[in-house]
Every structure is written in C-alpha cells, then in structure tokens.
Amino acid sequence: MNYSRLEKNLTDNIKEAQLKLGYDSRPMSFNYIAKSLTHLLGVECTEKVLADFAEYVSSRLGKLDFKAIRDGWCITVSVEGTAYVNNLTGYDFLTELVNAVREHGTSMEQVLDIFRKYSENLTIKEIRNDEFDLLVYGVDEYYYCLTDECCHVTYHRFIREDYEDLGF
C-alpha cells in the first residue's frame, strides 16, 4: 500500500483549493472515485484500507471522515488537517500557476513559461479534443490539461493513471 501517495495527493488538493479560494479555517471534503484511490494506494480501496490510511495521517491531518458515494468515497479533512496544509511550503509552482490562470488575458505561452521555469524536462503535447488543447507534464507528478478559452487559460490536473483512463 502506498499511503504516502494518497496523502500527497490529498494535501496537494487541499493546497490547490486554498490557493484558489483562500484559507478560512474549515474542514474540506474531496470526492475520489474508487479507481483513483486504487491507483493512488496500489490496492483496492476498502473501508479497512481507509481506516488504516486515516491512522497513518492522523498526526498531520487530524481526524478524517469517510462517506461512501456513488463510485467512490468522500474524504473530509478536519480543521486541524487543513491548518497543517495551509502551513506547508514548497508550492511555488502551483501558486504561480493558480495566480496566472486566475487573471483574464494570461496567454497560453505565459502559462507554459511558468511550467518551463520549474522544469527543463517538460513534455508538451497538443491534444485538441472537445475539452483540452494541450497536455503538459514533467514539472511534478501530475498531468496538466490546458485549455485556452478565448483570453482565459484554464487547467485540470490528473494523476497519470487517471489521465490514461480517460483515454484522451
């Protein structure tokens, strides 16, 4: 089992939400489809696995709550956990990316320059499907799908396995 990978994904999602919405000292909930949890954990996700994960992260994220949802689980992180994540450092790339896409008028090239600033080993591929224009990866463990929506660039971030499951 890879509890550390799920913990990193969960903390990254919390930090991303805090960068986008601000930190307001509250619990946060995230819906994960079962297949994503299986990818992150390396084993099928069960209530027992989630309980063991909760114990593994409790000293950092506090008490976690789990609720079964259609095709997965809703994971709620306590106020203590979101406060812990709010104080984490090392999110310079994500901070710059979120700040750039928040502004109208930021070009795709300006967004790509942020990726280039943090990695010399990027892969940039045109995918031009109904949802996305570009796929970018190599700056961290995520695959970023970028879209230029007429003077506004947006992104969606996936773990590699979830991106591959989507079949773009």
Name the CATH architecture for the domain at 3-86. 2-Layer Sandwich (3.30)
pLDDT tens for each residue of 4-48? 999 999 999 999 999 999 988 999 999 999 999 999 999 999 999
Q: In sequence order, what are the beta bridge partners of 101? A: none
pTM of the model: 0.94
User: Are 145 and 134 within 8 A, CB to CB?
Assistant: yes
Domain ranges of the chain: 3-86, 105-166
* pLDDT tier, 63 (very low <50, low <70, confident <90, very high otherwise): very high
When pLDDT is cut at 50, 70 and 90, the band that residue 130 belongs to is: confident
CA distance 135 to 156: 10
CA dihedral 55, 59, 63, 66 (to 10 degrees): -40
> What distance in Å separates the CA atoms of residue 51 and residue 58, rounded to the nearest whole number?
10
Spatial CA neighbour of 36 closest among 157, 165, 168: 165
User: pLDDT tens digit string along 40-61?
Assistant: 999 999 999 999 999 999 999 9
For 99, other C-beta atoms within 10 Å of its C-beta total 13
Look at 149 and 100; give whichever has higher pLDDT.
100
Q: Give the pLDDT band of residue 155 (cuts 50, 70, 90).
A: very high
